[in-house]
Each structure stands twice: as C-alpha cells, then as structure tokens.
Structure 1
Amino acid sequence: MKKPLQDKVAIITGSSRGIGAEIARTLAGAGAKVVVNFTANPSAAEAVCAAIAEAGGESLAVKADVSDPAQVRMLFDATIERFKHLDILVNNAGVLLSRQIADISDEEFDRVLSINVKGVFYALREAAKWMADGGRVVSLSSTVTRLMLPNYGAYAASKGAVEQLTRVFAKEMGERGVTANIVSPGPINTEMFNSGKNKETIERMAAMSFQGRIGEPEDIARVALFLVSEEAGWVTGQNISASGGAA
C-alpha cells in the first residue's frame, strides 16, 4: 500500500531533537525521505536517523547553521545531491529567549533574529529555487505572538516576522501550486520549553489549555503532517494554532 508521502523529499531544520525530531520521524513514517538538519549535536541527529531506518524509512543527517546563508545553501545542495529533488520544507529551527526587553543585550537580540528570522528567510529563498511544483512549506511560529506574555518580546517579534515571511511566500509561490502555512504551538513538552522553568510555572501554563495539559511534540507533528499532505492542497497562507485552545 502506497504511503501518503511516498517519493517525497523533506528538509526539516533543527530536527535533531524536540518538535523537529518528532516531525522528522512522523514524515518519514508517512513515506518521505527526510533530511535531518542539526547544528551542534551529531549524535542526536544520528539517533533520529537510526530510528527512521529502524522503521523502514530513509534519511540523511546534514550539519548546517541556518543563520549562515552559505550553510543553508549547502543544506539544500546536499539534499538535491542525495535525493535529486525537494518537495517539503519545515522551518523548525529556532531559539527561545525569555527576558524582559529592558534586559536583553544587543548580542542576544541579534542571535534571536539571526536564527529565527534570517534562518527562515534563507531557507525560503533556497526553497523558491529548488522546490518542486506542488511543494509544501510549514513554518513553526508560537502562540506567544497572540498572548503578549512578559519576557517574550524578542521571541514574539522574531516569530511574528516568520509568520509574515511565510504568508508572503505562499502568495509568491501560489501559481506553482506550492502551499506555505504556519503552525503556532502552545507550550510543548520539550527540552527548550522546560529549561529554566519550575514545576509551578509549567503547571500554570498547562492550565491555560482547554485540556489542562502541556502539549507533546507529536501533537504538532500531526498538524505538520496534514499540512504537507495532498489533502491540504487548498490550505495556504494560514496560521494554525496547535495549543489546546490556549490561544
């Protein structure tokens, strides 16, 4: 039986852990050949590839810092060299900064924008060149762009930019049948989210959802899987909240 993403090729940036790793495993499980992008932890990326191989899938781990345009070009070049084409891009790589605006240094702000915004811009620019007609793009944003939480000013600003870049890309690529959508997760049980938070803070954020829980990476991966499927061909330029109703 043919799988829904059989013969498709997908790049997932920042996919050695957390939400990105779960998206990589999920798309591979649906038949896609997956490029697992990482920056600093090759063993984590190889573990994701090993899990994909064990389940009968095919993947390639590629080291590339998305804040560097030359490395992003290399990521796409490696994908085309190995798999010959590209059908799916998931812009997942990102960093979280939780600090009041008054306390953020120039260097910290630049780092957030370089990875979260420039990384998406560079990837979209390459995707416009390499992606097959009828391709799919999903960019990860966050519900902090709607909630206006204290300490998330820089992060929310970067994700707001991601949303606008993706929407404009959707319109620019529409004539080629390429869709581009945004997924905005609420609090998700990942290393990045849990870092620096005590139990009380996590419980308070869990209570914001209608189900009274923190989301899991697979909750987001399932949404991404739908958006890159054939069934979502008439869904583009949209921002899908995956937050348990929190925002």
Structure 2
Amino acid sequence: MTSTPAISRRAALVTGASRGIGRAIALRLAADGFDVAIGYAGSAARAEETVAAAREAGSNAIAIQGDVAQAPDVARLFDTAQQAFGRLDVVVNSAGIMQMASVAPASLDAFDQTIATNLRGAFLVLGEAAARLGQGGRIIALSTSVIARSLPGYGPYIAAKAGVEGLVRVLANELRGRGITANAVAPGPVATELFLDGKSEEQVAQLSKVAPLERLGTPEDIAAAVSFLAGPDGAWINAQVVRVNGGFA
C-alpha cells in the first residue's frame, strides 16, 4: 500500500501500544490514515511487530521506548514523535497494568505500582499532550467499566482509573478555547493478555456472560471507539467517558 504524502497526514502517539488494546488502537489509527508512534515500556520485539503491521497499513510508524510513570521518558516520547512526524494531532494513553489486590495493608506495593503506571502515567501523558497539541487535537485516555461494579480485588485498579476519569474532565475545562478535546474510553472485559492473566477458564466464562451481548469485548471493539473520537465525527464530544462494554455496566 502506498503511503499518503506526509504533509497531508495526521500523526498520533499511542502509549502501551506493543500489545492488546493499545496495539489494536495503533493499527486502527494507522488504517485511518495516521502516522503512529508506538509507545512501549518493555518488549521491543512486540513493539516492532506493531510497527511492521502499521506500516503494512500505510503508516509511517515508529516505536519509542518509555515508562509513562517517569516524566523524562514521557517528554522523550513526545519529542521523538514530533521530530519524526513534524506534528502530533492525537494522543492516546493506553499504557496500564492490572494487579489484583485487596484493600489491605499487605497490598500497598501493588497499589503503589498501579497508581504509578495507571494514574501518575496518565497525568504525565495528558499533561504533555495538553502542552503540545494544537487546534483540532484529540486527547484520549483509557479507563475501565469495572468502576461501576466495584468487584473485589480491583481496588487499586479502580482507584487509579477513577482518577483518570477525573483528570480527563478537568483537562477538558483547562483546554477551554483551544479547540482540543479530552475524553476517556472505558472498556468492559476484553480478551487481552492483561485481562486473562491469572483468571481461570470458569472465571473467564462467567465474565463473558455478564454483558447482555454475552461475549468478551475484542481489542478492535475498543479501537473503533477511539477511532471515532479521534476522527471528524468525534469533534463535538468532549469531557466524556465513553463506556464501550456491551452493556457490562
């Protein structure tokens, strides 16, 4: 497939894009005509696989390593993407971890790690995006629909993602007058490694039946919602949390 000339293309940065939902988002945006920076924390091999797939879709894709919990890394993600593409139009913060832990003193390490990546990371990525995007920019963070169900063991994860939803709403107001939207997408259960890890077949089967549509979501389901918010039809949606969950909550 022949790429569109770079001058007419928009550019996106997607964190956590080496696998799962982040990868699906990056590939959907590539198919939508974006040049895409694939942000990743650990697996360079997986990130390069995503880059290769995005290039197959016609994107001038690159991979950039960085830990979203570290301010210098986040600044470097943005610097490298802007240098590569000459612009940034869309930023999607999909990087995240899920550690199951009860609300108890013994879970403090899991809580701190989850907050560092999922909430501090979102704060840093959203802040950099707000400082760098221009008129027509789109900022999209990933939350979770499990917030509404308050399931045992999800305390640290829910706490972090509830904070993300708050940040998005505040940021939308802080961006007043600049023509930039800030929204969150909150998936329900999605069949990814992150979600399936540590769950029995029985638990997975049970969770797949909770939504009225009686299936787990796919990464592509979530990517479609992000594509909508990032595209021309999403221009009037701002300060919202879009729950993409098949009716899960």
Deviates more, 1:78-87 or 1:9-18: 78-87
RMSD across aligned C-alpha pairs, in angstroms?
A: 1.4
Q: Secondary structure at the match of 2:52?
A: helix
Q: Which of 176, 179, 184 is the equivalent residue of 2:178?
A: 176
Structure 1 residue 101, shift from structure 2 partner: 1.2
Does residue 37 in structure 1 map to residue 39 in structure 2? yes
In the alignment, structure 1 segments of 5+ residues that lack a partner are none
Deviates more, 1:31-40 or 1:52-61: 52-61
Residue 80 of structure 2 corresponds to 78
Runs of 4+ that moved beyond 4 A: none
Q: Which of 119, 133, 136 is the equivalent residue of 1:134?
A: 136
Answer whether contact 2:101 2:110 (CA < 8 A) is retained: no
In the alignment, structure 2 segments of 5+ residues that lack a partner are none
Q: Secondary structure at the match of 1:161?
A: helix
Structure 1 residue 172, shift from structure 2 partner: 1.1
* Cα deviations by residue, 1:128-168 (Å, 9 ceiling, x for unpaired): 22112110011110011111111101100000000000111
Residue 160 of structure 1 corresponds to 162
Deviates more, 1:102-111 or 1:78-87: 102-111
TM-score after normalising by structure 2? 0.95
Residue 190 of structure 2 corresponds to 188
Residue 233 of structure 1 corresponds to 235
Mapping for residues 97-108 of structure 1, pairs under 5 Å:
97-102=99-104, 104-108=106-110
Residue-pair matches, total: 244
Answer whether contact 2:134 2:179 (CA < 8 A) is retained: no
Q: Secondary structure at the match of 1:188?
A: coil
* Cα deviations by residue, 1:13-48 (Å, 9 ceiling, x for unpaired): 100000000000000000001000111100000000
Structure 1 residue 103, shift from structure 2 partner: 6.0
CA distance in 2, matches of 1:166, 1:150: 25
> Structure 2 counterpart of 1:133, which letter?
Q
Q: Secondary structure at the match of 1:176?
A: coil
Structure 1 residue 174, shift from structure 2 partner: 3.0
> Structure 1 counterpart of 2:230, which letter?
V
> Structure 2 counterpart of 1:122, which letter?
L
* Cα deviations by residue, 1:112-141 (Å, 9 ceiling, x for unpaired): 111001111111111122112110011110
Percent sequence identity is 39
TM-score after normalising by structure 1? 0.96
Does residue 89 in structure 1 map to residue 91 in structure 2? yes
* Cα deviations by residue, 1:217-237 (Å, 9 ceiling, x for unpaired): 000000000001111111001
Q: Which of 241, 245, 248 is the equivalent residue of 1:246?
A: 248
